[in-house]
Amino acid sequence: MEHNENDTSNKSSKDKTDDTSKESNATEHSEKITNELIRVFRSFHRLNWRQKPNPDGKFSEMQVLMCIKRGSMKAQDKPGMKISVISRLLRVTSPTITQLVNGMETNGLVQRNADPDDRRAVRISLTEEGERIAEKVIADFMNRMAGLAQYLGERDSHELVRILSKAFEYFDELNESEQTGDEQQC
């Protein structure tokens, strides 16, 4: 049987066309999925699901109250938390937390106490009113999450946790690599 050079070049040309077509389909598929992810994330933003009007205060203040409440439950030996710890846990700057705490102190939700181990440090703790509001906000949040779990069912809830955890890992690694890159430039 004769082997024709044109057959070989036609095959390799066809293989290249197939590869290009596959890459194009993969790019279209990737772009389509990317756009779907963006659409879903935007719909959460438009839903404003975390900004439910709260007669007790701003969303950012409620986050601080919940953070102090959870922190106080874990570290029962020392009441309250340092501003630097709150800022690290909420991933915002200390001046941002200081400004929030100032307003919350004026509104009677938190109080400043001297740190028993460090005279220069101040610990922020909840007042009775702050405690009441924090418990209410935590209960509301837990009810919302329980409602979501019930709506999704056990299997889909576990799947959502798995996928969101994986998404968090991706963005956390991305942030770390970007920060490392910034530090290397200095």
Q: What is the pLDDT of residues 29-48, one digit of tens each?
A: 788 899 998 888 888 777 76
pLDDT of residue 4: 55
Residue 96 has, within 13 A of its CA and on its CB side, a CA count of 13
- Residue 186: predicted pLDDT: 43
pLDDT tens profile 54-100: 666 788 899 999 999 988 776 666 778 999 999 999 989 999 999 99
Q: What percent of the chain has pLDDT over 70?
A: 75
Q: Answer whether residue 24 shows pLDDT above 90.
A: no
pLDDT band at 129 (very low <50, low <70, confident <90, very high): very high
User: What does the pLDDT read at residue 28?
Assistant: 73
Q: For residue 8, what pLDDT is reported?
A: 52
Which band of pLDDT confidence, cut at 50, 70 and 90, is reported for residue 11? low
**What SS3 state is found at 124?**
strand
Long-range CB contacts (< 8 A, 24+ apart) of 70-75? 72/125, 72/126
pTM for the model? 0.66
Q: Nearest-CA neighbor of 126 among 180, 177, 71, 176?
A: 71
pLDDT band for 178, please (50, 70, 90 cuts). confident
Mean pLDDT of 155-171: 94
Only one residue has tokens 């991933």, namely 91
Q: Comparing 12 with 27, which gets the higher pLDDT? A: 27
CB of 72 closer than 8 Å to CB of 86: no
